[in-house]
């Protein structure tokens, strides 16, 4: 299979995962009790909570380190006159992190949707605040709130360098698994509901695909010119 075929297959894989995340969000919107049930089932206490926090600290810098490594690798190879991929690929990697977890999630939604985290709700942890479904856009949190998950969004941003890899399909599978794993860690810590994680997954899957489409797709007149003998 040529590069274009591999890219198309990887993009379909990412789009399919994003669609599943959207479907999950739809199911939770209809049955919000799913959020409570999953939060209760996954939340762990000591001593397991210490292992969850350790794994989280190890995973947290990985997306930023990977993005930095991709950009530095491109700069180093470009300086030798052998750029390994178009510079717009490096731009997609940087924008995926800056726009997704940076602007939309952490600076935007998490500071304006006051959803309370599971560990602060009476239904999940016996705390004072009541559970609020994500569709209510309500809660008692003031800033850095539950919806959606910032660390999960950053983890799924690894899809950007994955889709630029020489073998994009297995790289995309690894990025999706990493994102899902980080989301599971956040739920196990009682920091996020399933809908928070699903929202971040859907956002980043479609954002990465949109950035690649906008920045990497060749205009029609260039495709036609390249097809001429």
Q: What per-residue string of b and e applies to 11-24 under the rule 16 or more CB within 10 Å gives b?
A: bebbeebbeebbeb
Supply the pLDDT for residue 98. 95
Domain membership flag for residue 226:
no
Determine the longest span between alpha carbons in the chain, in angstroms: 71
Supply the pLDDT for residue 84. 58
Residues of the chain with pLDDT below 50 are 219-229
Residue with token string 């699903």: 198
CATH code for the domain of 163: 1.20.144
Domain residue limits at 61: 3-217
Supply the pLDDT for residue 74. 75
Domain membership flag for residue 44:
yes
Supply the pLDDT for residue 190. 95
Give the chain's domain count.
1
Domain membership flag for residue 52:
yes
Domain membership flag for residue 18:
yes
Supply the pLDDT for residue 80. 76
Burial class (CB in 10 A: 0-12, 13-18, 19+), 65: exposed
DSSP label at 84? S
| Residues β-bridged to residue 129 | 121
Supply the pLDDT for residue 216. 84
């Amino acid at each position: 299979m040529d590069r274009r075929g591999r890219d198309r297959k990887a993009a379909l894989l990412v789009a399919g995962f994003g669609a599943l995340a959207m479907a999950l969000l739809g199911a939770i919107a209809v049955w919000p009790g799913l959020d409570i049930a999953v939060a209760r089932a996954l939340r762990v206490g000591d001593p397991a909570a210490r292992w969850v926090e350790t794994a989280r600290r190890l995973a947290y810098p990985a997306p930023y380190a990977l993005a930095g490594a991709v950009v530095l690798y491109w700069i180093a190879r470009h300086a030798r006159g052998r750029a390994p991929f178009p510079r717009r690929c490096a731009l997609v990697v940087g924008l995926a992190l800056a726009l997704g977890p940076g602007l939309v999630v952490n600076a935007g939604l998490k500071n304006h949707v006051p959803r309370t985290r599971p560990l602060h709700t009476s239904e999940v942890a016996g705390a004072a605040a009541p559970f609020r479904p994500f569709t209510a856009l309500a809660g008692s949190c003031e800033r850095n709130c539950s919806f959606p998950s910032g660390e999960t969004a950053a983890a799924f941003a690894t899809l950007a360098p994955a889709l630029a890899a020489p073998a994009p399909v297995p790289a995309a599978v690894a990025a999706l698994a990493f994102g899902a794993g980080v989301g599971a860690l956040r739920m196990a810590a009682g920091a996020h509901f399933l809908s928070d994680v699903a929202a971040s997954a859907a956002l980043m899957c479609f954002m990465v695909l949109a950035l690649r489409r906008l920045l990497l797709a060749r205009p029609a007149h260039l495709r036609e010119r390249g097809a001429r003998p």
